[in-house]
Amino acid sequence: MPSLAVDPCVSCAEHRTQSLVRLGLSPDKWDYLIALAGNPNVGKSTVFNQLTGLRQHTGNWPGKTVVRAEGAFAHGGSRVKVVDLPGTYSLQAGSIDEEVARDFVLFGRPDVTVVVVDATRLERNLNLVLQILEITDRVVVFLNLMDEARRHGIAVDAAKLEKRLGVPVIPGTAREGLGIPELLDAAHAVATGVRSTRPHRSERQAPEVEQAVGRLVPVIEEVFEEVPNPRWVALRLLNADEAVQEAVRSGELGQLSRDDFDAGRSVPEPEERQRVLDAATRLRWELPPDFQDLVTEQAYAAAEEIAQSAQKRGLAKAGFDLDRRLDELLTSPIFGFPLMLFILAVVFWITIEGANVPSSMLATLLIDNVHGWLTGAAVAIGMPWWLSGFLLDGVYLATAWVISVMLPPMAIFFPLFTLLEDFGYLPRVAFNLDSLFKKAGAHGKQALTMSMGFGCNAAGVVATRIIDSPRERLIAIITNNFSLCNGRWPTQILIATIFIGALVPPEVGGLVAAAAVVGIAVFGIVMMFLSSWLLSRTVLRGEATSFSLELPPYRPPRVLQTLYTSIIDRTLIVLWRAIVFAVPAGAVIWLSSNLMIGDLSVAGHAVDWLNPLGLLIGLNGVILVAYIVAIPANEIVIPTVLMLTVLVTPDLAAQFGGGPGVMFEEGTMGTATVLEAGGWTLLTAVNIMLFSLLHNPCSTTIYTIYKETRSAKWTTVATLMPVAMGVTVCFLVTQVWRLLAG
Amino acid sequence: MQVLPVVHHDPADEVAELRLGDVPLRQEVELVWIDLPAHEAEPLLERGVLPGCRICPVRSSPGGDPIVSIDGSLLALRRETADCLCVRILSQLQEAS
């Protein structure tokens, strides 16, 4: 590690704030490494964003960060790397996200670990702080949410806490940037060793435990000479902690102390390391069976005692009653579900009503005007027809269509959804739905991963790491696809607007269309319960394990920042992904429409071949081909359907004069004309909405499922099960519909 | 003088009767003991559900599961979990009101 010159000016707080240069993503080299640890939902990600200037999305619910995020900034002449760890209640890793956090604090060799602490729940948060202090002495505690503590009538004495813990304690409110400069100074001072700490460590255990520890410590010290806290290692080994046992077995433990990382110290011999493990096993037999309870009790008692000494409760409260009132309504046995549907419907209604005008404006601009202008220019410079066809009618139009149809609804829907998330509504949804998940034999936190899936299924699958039972996690992974994702919302909204909203007078069209989309989303949730239930009764048999979920306080969403981050993070990223896939898809469709085999194009053959199956399930060959083309990204289903419909409907091609494989669009009404000419009916619309919900996940999600499960079998199940369900449901709907319609 | 018989009581036996799941809403109780195996009790302990702490059921969900207030925060439990938490009523006064 390069040495850091300490300039007196640099250590002044004023200088620091000014010299904080946010570097954004991780650099290759850094002078020191900060790990951010803490309980779930205490604002680690907010601190992370404040430090790095990155816009890692912060949601008001536990388990938002399941993987570690990395960023960097320059401060006082040093390059600092920051790692944001998943929230964890303790270092006794239960679920995978907790394991990530624990392993990093243990083996990631951070130069300083900043523990973010919720000032309103000091006692519970201190438990983790004390555990981290047992491992490393380079710790700074950031006492976050001081504003909320004040509102709840809690005063925390930071100076007293600092004295008790023996490490710097910085009070602040990360959302408003308060305390961040002081935190930087403290972290810098501790990381560079300018400020030494005397961390609080558990001194006395029950006599039996002390005796066993006393006999194990010398063995550890003999084998691993430089381990910073042999007492902690001894306790963990007596507790049969697998991660620590493994660290001893592999010799990694010897490198735990940061300074000898580069020194190339020799790792103890395997026999020596085994000696430590054997000694621990032998001593464990001599301990009373409730030994673990004794140690746990001791730790909690220490946390409680320190918390009590440093805080005053029951001061004037404000705002807390409002929370209760809201909760009484939002999680009420009577109003809970109706309100949930109502809120969802309002979000869609605003999206549908609001997106119409900008969508058709964009379509006029990009498709009518710019496309015409580009075609004219291509003719003027004498571009061959196949090249201008390929580039303008294939690639350009596919992209333009995706932008004009997807950008406006996404730019409205995502910020609204993000506001709900920041407000703290999602855990309430999870709570409302939990009794159903319990009946389905699934984990209560599956409701959270489901909500995540409403954004992106791949993200939802990764989010299942918060579920500690492997059986229930697998169920959550397999059924996540039943959450309608970003790529599918626009299809649902568009088709509902054209075919279902049009059934009623225009004044209520938007409302009816919104209700239809909510209906599909709710049907997806029903299918999720049904398939979870089926899985836990058959191949993934088992009972639901107990779980508890913390309901975070409502936090007023920061509207402007939410708008900014949700447009940058979600809207543009999703749009970019759609464009990236639309470009080659547009090219492929144009090529396959213009390459002839006999007297029919390649695409024509495929459509003809799939048409009988399509008609049987109330769809058509075009839609099935589109779903195959759209495996990489659901976003391009509708553009593909439109291009192919024009191709196989010669009248249309002549009418619009675009030639085969050309996409055109004149607002939603233009889309309606094309689809109706392609033989679409209300039944087709209903079925495509159902099939859009129930079909295979996109390729990114399939890959993510494979990465998370490491099992080809479960990946296949997760991929094919929804398709089978979709085909069945569409088939039944069609047959019943035709029977009723005569 | 009457000699009172000495009754030896084991707190666990005495309170095993009353479980959090049976406590009416807004009745504050003290947690005495968690009747769960260690690996299932641990997540509760980490969330602040410790013997000796005060718990108050504040609401029940659409499905009948309790939300309890503990250490100033709200925790949603499943009914099965609440039935494994042995508690004791803190004050008779609160019960009367």
Question: A369-402, pLDDT tens digit by residue?
Answer: 888 899 889 989 988 888 888 888 888 887 887 7
The angle subtended at Cα A460 by Cα A458 and Cα A462, nearest 5°, is: 75
Order of strands, sheet of B54-60, starting from the edge strand that comes earlier in the sequence: A548-551, B73-77, B66-70, B54-60, B29-34, B85-89
The position carrying tokens 């000494």 is: A309
- Across the interface, whether the CB atoms of A548 and B80 are under 8 A apart is answered no
What are the structure tokens assigned to A460, written together? Answer: 């939802």
What is the average pLDDT across A509-528? 91
> Exposed, middle or buried, A487 (CB in 10 Å: 0-12/13-18/19+)?
buried
Distance CA A477, CA A499 (A): 33
Q: What is the pTM of this model?
A: 0.72
- Across the interface, whether the CB atoms of A313 and B45 are under 8 A apart is answered no
Q: What is the pLDDT of residue A64?
A: 56
ipTM of the complex: 0.70
Q: What is the pLDDT of residue A525?
A: 92
Q: What is the pLDDT of residue A5?
A: 36
Q: pLDDT category, A65, cuts 50, 70, 90?
A: low
Positive or negative: CA dihedral A127, A132, A138, A139: negative
Least confident of A303-307, A469-473, A724-728, B15-19: B15-19
CB atoms within 10 A of CB A209: 21
What is the interface size between A and B, counted as CB pairs within 8 Å? 108
Whether A497 shows a pLDDT value over 80: the answer reads yes
Q: How far apart are the first and last CA of chain B?
A: 37
**Contacts of residue A12, Cβ cutoff 8 Å, sequence gap at least 6:** none
CB atoms within 10 A of CB A457: 30
Q: What is the pLDDT of residue A66?
A: 57
Taking Cα atoms as reference points, which of A179, A188, A256, A144 lies closest to residue A33?
A188
Distance CA A166, CA A159 (A): 10
Whether A558 shows a pLDDT value over 80: the answer reads no
What are the structure tokens assigned to A157, written together? Answer: 């004495």
Higher pLDDT, A27 or A76: A76
What is the average pLDDT across A429-438? 82
Taking Cα atoms as reference points, which of A730, A706, A729, A732 lies closest to residue A717?
A706
H or E, element range at A36? strand A32-38
Q: Look at strands A78-84 and A69-75 and give their pairing.
A: antiparallel
- Across the interface, whether the CB atoms of B61 and A331 are under 8 A apart is answered yes
Least confident of A91-95, A455-459, A715-719, A722-726: A91-95
Q: What is the pLDDT of residue A61?
A: 53
Contacts A152 to B, Cβ<8 Å: 72
Does residue A646 contact residue A633 with C-beta atoms inside 8 Å?
A: no
Q: Does A548 contact B at CB distance below 8 Å?
A: yes
Q: What is the pLDDT of residue A262?
A: 46
Higher pLDDT, A638 or A684: A684
Q: Which of B46, B62, B76 sits opposite A549 (nearest CB)?
A: B76
For the segment A127-148, what is each residue's pLDDT rounded down to a tens digit? 899 988 888 889 999 999 888 8
Taking Cα atoms as reference points, which of A471, A414, A470, A424 lies closest to residue A448?
A424
Q: What is the pLDDT of residue B15?
A: 45
Q: What is the pLDDT of residue A259?
A: 45
Give the chain B residue whose CA is nearest to the CA of A148.
B72
Q: Does A547 contact B at CB distance below 8 Å?
A: yes
Distance CA A385, CA A413 (A): 40
Distance CA A42, CA A552 (A): 9
What are the structure tokens assigned to A486, written together? Answer: 């970003």
Q: pLDDT category, A16, cuts 50, 70, 90?
A: very low
Q: Does B21 contact A at CB distance below 8 Å?
A: no
- Across the interface, whether the CB atoms of B72 and A152 are under 8 A apart is answered yes
- Across the interface, whether the CB atoms of A435 and B71 are under 8 A apart is answered no
- Maximum distance among all Cα pairs of chain B, rounded to whole angstroms: 57
Whether B38 shows a pLDDT value over 80: the answer reads no
**% of chain A at pLDDT higher than 70:** 87
Q: What is the pLDDT of residue B9?
A: 47
DSSP 8-state class, residue A83: E
Measured between CA atoms, how close is A433 to chain B, in angstroms? 8
Whether A162 shows a pLDDT value over 90: the answer reads yes
For the segment A17-40, what is each residue's pLDDT rounded down to a tens digit? 444 555 555 556 778 889 999 988
Least confident of A503-507, A593-597, A712-716, A737-741: A593-597
Sorted by where each starts, the structural domains of chain B and their CATH numbers stand as 18-96 (2.30.30.90)
- What are the structural domain ranges in chain A? 13-191, 207-287, 337-544+552-741
The position carrying tokens 């009457």 is: B2
- In degrees and rounded to multiples of 5, residue B56 shows phi and psi of -140, 115
Q: Which of B43, B45, B71 sits opposite A296 (nearest CB)?
A: B45
Taking Cα atoms as reference points, which of A201, A123, A122 lies closest to residue A166?
A201
Measured between CA atoms, how close is B8 to chain A, in angstroms? 23
- In degrees and rounded to multiples of 5, residue A41 shows phi and psi of 60, 40
Q: How far apart are the first and last CA of chain A?
A: 80
The position carrying tokens 């002078």 is: A31
Interface test with B, best of A92, A95, A124 (most B CBs within 10 A): A124
Q: What is the pLDDT of residue A737?
A: 93
Q: What is the CATH number of domain A13-191?
A: 3.40.50.300
What is the average pLDDT across A68-96? 80
Q: Does B86 contact A at CB distance below 8 Å?
A: no
Taking Cα atoms as reference points, which of A63, A161, A26, A183 lies closest to residue A114?
A183
